[in-house]
Amino acid sequence: MSFHERKRPAQGVLNSDEIPTLVFLTVCTDLRGRWLANHETHQLLRKVWLESTAWAVGIYVLMPDHLHLFAWPYLRVTDFDNWVRYWKSQFTRRSADPDGSAGASYRRWQSNCFHHRIRSFESAAEKRAYILANPVRAGLVARAQDWPYQGELFKSGCWW
């Protein structure tokens, strides 16, 4: 049996009433610019995610040029890809250039993102460990808990 080889990831996230929906997301900065890991960006992303209530953001980590997070459906049924585009646009619109003008020109996102639905407890625990250890693997801190640009907005203990 042969399988069709994909050139791009499948679009959308299957949302089912019978199976809990948990999504692992990676979003990169445009041209892998290293502007994400700072206090101002961290606070603005947290604010945008809390206001973008279609999906809840669980554990996340901001690296200099990309971020990882878990998300699940929250207050409204909205397509996952639309939600990601929405919060990216809100963040960009609210960002300020060093001169104070809105829409910081250096804070741009790659147009696509990588996401997949977690299908098992083991997979969720594995991805959680991956997210939390990312700053250590990158040599940014010695211990994961010392990285200041991480958190958990909505807590859910049902996956790990």
Q: What are phi and psi of 148, to 5 degrees?
A: -80, -15
> pLDDT tens, 118-156?
887 778 889 999 999 999 999 999 999 999 999 999 887
Asked if the model's pLDDT at residue 52 lies above 60, the reply is yes
Cα 61–Cα 99–Cα 106 angle in degrees, nearest 5: 40
**Domains of the chain as residue ranges with CATH:** 23-152 (3.30.70.1290)
Give me the pLDDT at residue 21, please: 85
Q: Is 114 helix (H, G, I), strand (E, B) or coil?
A: strand
The crossing angle, in degrees rounded to 10, of helices 80-94 and 39-51 is 130
> pLDDT tens, 38-49?
999 999 999 999
Asked if the model's pLDDT at residue 65 lies above 80, the reply is yes
pTM, 2 dp = 0.82
pLDDT level of residue 158 (50, 70, 90 thresholds)? low
Q: How many CB atoms lie within 10 A of CB 125?
A: 13
More confident of the two residues 158 and 109: 109
